[in-house]
Amino acid sequence: MHSKSESLYLRHARNDLLQNRGVNTALAVLLVLSAFLMATGSMVMERMVGSVNQLFEEAQPPHFLQMHRGEYDPAALEGFAAQHPEIDAWLIEEMLGFDGAALSWHRPATGESGDLSESLIDNLFVTQNEDFDFLLDKTGAAPSPSPGQVHVPVAYQQRFGLEVGDRLGVRTDTGVHELRVRGFVRDAQMASSLSSATRFVVSEADFADLESAGGGAPEIIVEYRLDDPSAVSEFQSAYESDAALPRNGQAVTFQMIRMINAFSDGLVAVALVFVSLLLIMIALLSLRFVIRASMEDQIRQIGAMKAIGLPDRAISGLYLAKYSLMTFLACVVGGVLAVFATGLLTRGAQENYAEASWGVSTLLVPVIALTLVYVCVMVLCRGVLRGVRRIQVVGALVHGSTLDEHQSARQARRQARRVRRGGLDSYSGTNVNRRLALLDLRAEGRQWLLVPVVFFLATVLMTLPTNLLSTFENPRFVTYLGAPESDLRADLLFSDDVDAVREDVLAHMRGDERLSDVRVFAHVLYEARGEQGWESLRVDVGDHSGDTVEFVEGGAPGPGQIALSALNADRYGLGAGDEMALRQSAEQDEPSTLEVSGVYQDVTAGGYTAKVRGEQSSGAIGYAIYADTAEGVDPAVVAAEYGKRHPTAAVVPMREYVEQTLSYVTDALRSAALLAFVFGTGVAVLITSLFLKLRLSRERSRMGVLCALGFSTGEIIAQTRAKTLVAVVVGTLLGVVFAATAGESLVGLLVASAGLGITDLVFLPNPWLVYLAYPLVLVAAGYLGAVFLTAPLRGTDKSSWLRG
């Protein structure tokens, strides 16, 4: 008996699927897209985390590192390590930094050549580490190049098209030192574009030659691996409270390295899941509409089944079998497609990080995602099909209604009131056709609600990723990087004559008629009192008035004040108006007490910076000089000129600096925005077509009556198109308003949760694109869907409408 009932359910499901091919195909496509995106998003996230974890497991990056430029005391580091038994291993990595313009390449086989001047980050030459923090090749091995060989970062291989066998030239003070590219390495510490540097691996002999040749900026990283990585905060406080240790640079923790590596590529996965969730909402709304419409169309068959004694559970099961089968097949198809899509989307992560190993989670994660989609759909179907219980036999067979006697009476009274309020007898206008369309739209508002809701969600789906992309690409976004909006930036890093270089560069810039608004900021290391004692704090000293950075609380510092980055404000538990103890060195007897003027957003230097008003021309670890160019002057040309004139200063156009710093993030967002646009537009057309196909089928009798009253086919078609256009426009406008208000807050919370130092993101949208072009595309898509669906009505036999 059980097998017979299963056969009945499957036969009914198959017949219904074949009978309503158009509607069921549209619904199936929507379910497949939802399952595909949910599975793809979850798999990309799993593969991304797996790639980063795999690289971290093989490369063993430090749990805490301190970058430093200048002299240091090795004995102090030895003593510190001896006092801290929680240290599992530690090392000092020596590095030589060269500007991209000092690095060139050529390919002997073809004669091709070029340089790395387009790269604005630091190029650090190192030798392979022996204990941990390995730089790995594509096989996961830690290569040790022979003399005359170099292993280049994978990012440069992708960006400049470098190949094994190419010659890399390093311009030094004594000439060009040539190396042969032996391979490419992945760097767990500096893989992301958010990192300010990248590392090349050379032999110890070549490193010594480069060091003695001059032209490279010496730098070290002090790195530590701990027995308990969770104790890194306490360890960092202990390190920074020891004044004898080197700390002329950025301190970075294991968590920061992991977050920076995963942030950009992780955005793709988050965007896919976001798109999937919106599509699932659209699919559920559409499914609810389709089920209710099917029940109303087949009400007499349902009444007949109830009349012959079939239980409600059995009747619901007939319909549930169809949607269960459709959803299961959609999940299978979506899952298979997701496997191929994941391979394409994670190709970059596999190249930059590592090939993630396959495990139980690789299979379990997409299965769980697809199961969630299936469960959500089935829960909704069961909820809607509970309406079968409320259907009465008499009402179904006699009146063809899903309502009971009392509900039918209430509905009749409501319809009578609508007729009295909106009748045509009091209408004095000339366009009766338009008036009739609006009256029908108002009377059948609940049935038409699907269209504006879907277009609302589609608008949000398309707009938010694009707004986030335009924000990251906007030149004003530099204010989120803790820097003023300007055309040029010159970084003067530590050197013996950094103060003299500052004076020289400033004199030339202020005397250059092409430049204006020249501002200089000194990077000074202070000490602030934290939970574990005095801690190192990097402070930018200069004139911070005007539109320099984005303040989320308070404003720029004045005399006796300090402004803190968002991460530092959270670290010290301070806000605008609070007081902060600050000293420049342990030898200073009395620390100064400064008032916190405000909290600003900053993603540079790990997000841990501060700003003080003043002028400092000596004793700083480095300087940053900003300037604007006159109209018609190319900042890139000026930057190249100053770079040659002042080789120890890194002069870059700010737009290119921001683009390269955020390149991984913007690339990911661009893919997500394109995907959202395609799916948003496609779903809008799909749902409009699905809705109108069902609606036109149910309104055959009404259209027949209008035709009998003298309305032409063209007028009847115009009514349907007008109702569709109104519903589409209302939903699209509401979506635009939501995306510009609550949507901004939603995305801001997502970005803030990443811990990058941006706590209050304000969109910098392209208004012509998101407030004009996108709405027009959506409205046009919806209207064209209506035109396509209603066009065949012109050739329909009108008498068949009256026959039902």
Q: Note the pLDDT of residue 128.
A: 93
Shared domain for 143 and 36, answered yes or no, is no
Q: Note the pLDDT of residue 427.
A: 46
Task: Answer yes or no: is pLDDT of 360 > 50.
Answer: yes
Q: How confident is the model at residue 1 (pLDDT cuts 50, 70, 90)?
A: very low
Q: How confident is the model at residue 438 (pLDDT cuts 50, 70, 90)?
A: low
pLDDT tens-digit series, residues 733-787: 999 999 888 888 887 777 777 666 677 778 888 999 999 999 999 999 999 988 8
Shared domain for 530 and 471, answered yes or no, is no
Task: Answer yes or no: is pLDDT of 18 > 90.
Answer: no
Task: Answer yes or no: is pLDDT of 681 > 50.
Answer: yes
Task: Answer yes or no: is pLDDT of 428 > 50.
Answer: no
Shared domain for 627 and 664, answered yes or no, is no
pLDDT higher at 214 or 395: 214
Q: Note the pLDDT of residue 268.
A: 64
pLDDT tens-digit series, residues 122-144: 889 999 998 899 999 888 889 99
- How many structural domains comprise the chain? 4
pLDDT tens-digit series, residues 133-172: 999 988 888 999 999 999 999 888 888 888 898 999 998 8
**Residue that terminates a domain, selected from 647, 666, 683:** 647
Q: Note the pLDDT of residue 125.
A: 94
pLDDT tens-digit series, residues 608-661: 789 999 888 777 878 889 999 998 899 988 988 888 888 777 788 888 877 777
Task: Answer yes or no: is pLDDT of 306 > 80.
Answer: no
Shared domain for 659 and 634, answered yes or no, is no
Q: Evaluate whether residue 374 is within a structural domain.
A: yes
Q: Note the pLDDT of residue 308.
A: 75
Task: Answer yes or no: is pLDDT of 804 > 60.
Answer: no
Mean pLDDT of the chain: 80
Which residue range forms the structural domain that includes residue 105?
Answer: 90-226
**151 phi-psi bin (left φ>0, alpha ψ -120 to 50, beta other):** beta
Q: Note the pLDDT of residue 312.
A: 74
Shared domain for 304 and 436, answered yes or no, is no
How many Cα atoms occupy the beta-carbon half-sphere of 51 within 13 Å?
Answer: 27
**Residue that terminates a domain, selected from 624, 647, 670:** 647
Among 341-355, 440-454, 561-575, the range of highest mean pLDDT: 561-575
Shared domain for 553 and 637, answered yes or no, is yes
Q: How confident is the model at residue 413 (pLDDT cuts 50, 70, 90)?
A: low
Q: How confident is the model at residue 399 (pLDDT cuts 50, 70, 90)?
A: low
Q: Note the pLDDT of residue 58.
A: 87
Q: Which of 232-246, 343-357, 754-768 has the lowest mean pLDDT?
A: 343-357
Q: How confident is the model at residue 8 (pLDDT cuts 50, 70, 90)?
A: low
CA distance 317 to 634: 71
pLDDT higher at 304 or 521: 521
Q: How confident is the model at residue 714 (pLDDT cuts 50, 70, 90)?
A: confident
Q: Note the pLDDT of residue 705.
A: 67
Shared domain for 9 and 135, answered yes or no, is no
CA distance 654 to 483: 10
Q: Note the pLDDT of residue 402.
A: 54
Task: Answer yes or no: is pLDDT of 182 > 70.
Answer: yes
Q: Which of 216-230, 431-445, 515-529, 697-711 has the lowest mean pLDDT?
A: 431-445
Q: Which of 109-123, 428-442, 637-651, 695-709 has the lowest mean pLDDT?
A: 428-442
Beta strands across the sheet bearing 64-68: 113-115, 103-106, 167-172, 175-185, 149-153, 197-202, 122-126, 87-98, 217-226, 64-68, 251-253
Q: Evaluate whether residue 237 is within a structural domain.
A: no
CA distance 622 to 523: 5
Q: Which of 397-406, 452-461, 571-580 has the lowest mean pLDDT?
A: 397-406
Shared domain for 577 and 701, answered yes or no, is no
Q: Name residue 553's amino acid.
A: E
CA distance 273 to 285: 18
Shared domain for 28 and 125, answered yes or no, is no
Q: Evaluate whether residue 345 is within a structural domain.
A: yes
Element (H, E) at 160: helix 154-160
Task: Answer yes or no: is pLDDT of 293 > 80.
Answer: no
Average pLDDT over residues 574-586: 84
Shared domain for 512 and 638, answered yes or no, is yes
Average pLDDT over residues 410-439: 54
Name the residue with tokens 């008996």. 1
CA distance 432 to 403: 32
Q: Note the pLDDT of residue 13.
A: 61
Q: Evaluate whether residue 660 is within a structural domain.
A: yes
**Residue that terminates a domain, selected from 619, 647, 675:** 647
Shared domain for 219 and 264, answered yes or no, is no
Q: Are 448 and 441 in contact (CB under 8 A)?
A: yes
Q: Note the pLDDT of residue 682.
A: 87
Residues 6+ apart with CB under 8 A from 621: 69, 70, 248, 249, 494, 523, 524, 525
Max Cα distance, the chain (Å): 101
Q: Evaluate whether residue 469 is within a structural domain.
A: yes
